[in-house]
Amino acid sequence: MSMVCLSDFEAYAKKYLPKIAWDYFAAGADDCTTRDENILAYKRIRFRPRMLRDVSVMDIRTKILGSEISFPVGIAPTGFHQLAWPDGEKSTARAARAMGTCYIASTYSTCTLEEISAAAPGGLRWFQLYIHRNRAASQQLVQRAEALGFQGLVLTADLPYTGKRRDDVRNGFRLPPHMKVKNLEGAFEVCKMILLDPSVTWNDIYWLRSLTRLPIIIKGILTREDAELAVKHGVQGIIVSNHGGRQLDEGPATIDALVEVVDAVRGRVEVYVDGGIRKGSDVLKALALGAKCVFIGRPALWGLAYKGEEGLQDVLRILQDEFRLSMALAG
């Protein structure tokens, strides 16, 4: 099968992944309105291309929090990569390093932070944190990540409770017996998401700041008001995100929320966006509207499902080529 665009990888993953795994990765909350709107919103945005510009040489590199990446697409935090490929997050880390970009490793990885770090030494990695009721476990994770050379801490803010994903409920989703949420083994039975702490507030950013020297990026911001609070509480970055439409349904598409957030922060912190990015032209639209970089979630998993590390590199390479072409054609 010739893989020409990201939807080819999606079709492959849907065909070959076990149904319970496909349903878990594909799931949106409730009617999946927000999940689908993330994609549709990009289709409504139009370019105003300029002609007769010299586009013979293009530099698509950028920097995020001072670290250079080869192009403005990173890998968003998603859980349970072994559902897509046996080597799980180790393959993800290797692909990100090979493509010279950032990988945000999830609290809910099926490989340990140590395994992820050892798989791709020297790669640019951030660590995504859920704060649990067991604060000692969360503190230990932050300190492990920093000790292992992770370069940013991404606090997910939009999951005080897990959204209702109907297919997961129907399927009685849980990890197969041979897979574990490795970073939390021994701390508690992690698949009981009730162990997430719903009492987390903005003040907990000060608590995180007391634990680490890593820059803090907050993920899940969708409004001007919360963007201003994020800046006020001293974060270094914001990821405009609705959790891939998996949390509150009927919220805004992330590309629509991006403009409001960028306007609110006025350049004081870096702003990134995830959700719905399926083409290189989507990346260009996000950058044109003020994002410093985009992060992909589901497409990374489709790449893993296709050929592991090699498949994920293919996904990133296609996005990179499409982004460069869109830049050129838009002048």
233 is catalytic: no
CB neighbour list of residue 23: distance below 8 Å, 6 or more residues apart: 167, 168, 171, 173
194 CB burial (10 A radius; 0-12, 13-18, 19+)? exposed
130 in a known ligand binding site: yes
Residue 79 assigned as binding residue: yes
DSSP assignment of 71-132 equals SSEEE---S-GGGT-TTTHHHHHHHHHHTT-EEEE-TT-SS-HHHHHHHSTT-EEEEEEPPB
Q: Return the residue matching tokens 């820059």.
A: 215
Angle at 271 between CA 266 and CA 273, to 5 degrees: 140
Q: Which of 152, 176, 191, 163 is nearest to 270 (CA)?
A: 152
Is residue 191 pLDDT above 80, yes or no? no
Domains of the chain: 6-45+59-330 (3.20.20.70)
- Say whether pTM exceeds 0.75: yes
Give Cβ neighbours of residue 54 (< 8 Å, ≥ 6 apart).
none
62 is annotated as contributing to ligand binding:
no
Is 128 annotated as belonging to a binding site? yes
237 in a labelled binding site = no
Q: Could you tell me which residues are beta bridge partners of residue 74?
A: 295
Q: What's the pLDDT tens digit per position in 29-52?
A: 999 999 999 999 999 999 999 999
pLDDT for 193 equals 52
In the set 81, 132, 233, 243, the catalytic residue is: 243
Query: 216-266: per-residue pLDDT in tens?
Result: 999 999 999 999 999 999 999 999 999 999 999 999 999 999 999 999 999
